[in-house]
Amino acid sequence: MEELLSWIDDLVAVERLPWRRKGRRVRISLSRDGRSQIVHLARQRDRYVLSSVIAHVSAVNEDRRSLAYRLWRRNALKAVVTFLIDHRERVVGRIEQPIESLHDKELKFYLETLARECDRLEYILTGADTR
């Protein structure tokens, strides 16, 4: 895990990215108006897991069944990010990537894509930018 954290720090420094890492979280700045998304970093066996909380189910303006169907449809259309409702009743975006095949450009792409897709879905579901 320390390797991933160091890798992200290097990306931020070399590419002068407006990201801020604190522990196993990275705040990805998405625009000049202050929109951002927090990405959580974890390791599960031979994979890195990148995730971002979009909203609590109770903050979404539709019933749980409709929400689950909406997430299922988005998952069918999106090849990179998976959306789910976790055990804490939160809508979460997630990317899993095998450690062995991850490289710099791919890591940056995954972090930015996850942040953008989660921010977009957060706005669609809640009408606000809360993270």
* Distance from C-alpha of 92 to C-alpha of 55, rounded to nearest angstrom: 7
In the prediction, which pLDDT does 130 show?
60
- What integer best gives the mean pLDDT of the chain? 92
Other C-beta atoms lying within 10 Å of the C-beta of residue 37: 25
Beta strands in the chain (DSSP E): 20-22, 25-29, 36-44, 47-56, 82-85, 90-98
Residue 12: is its pLDDT beyond 90?
yes
Residue 115: is its pLDDT beyond 70?
yes
Alpha-carbon distances of 56 from 11, 28, 85, 122, rounded to whole Å: 31, 20, 9, 10
Q: What's the whole-model pTM score?
A: 0.91
Where in the chain are the domains?
2-126
In the prediction, which pLDDT does 45 show?
93
Q: What is the tens place of the pLDDT at every residue in 18-28? A: 999 999 999 99
Please tell me the CATH code under which domain 2-126 is placed: 3.30.1460.10
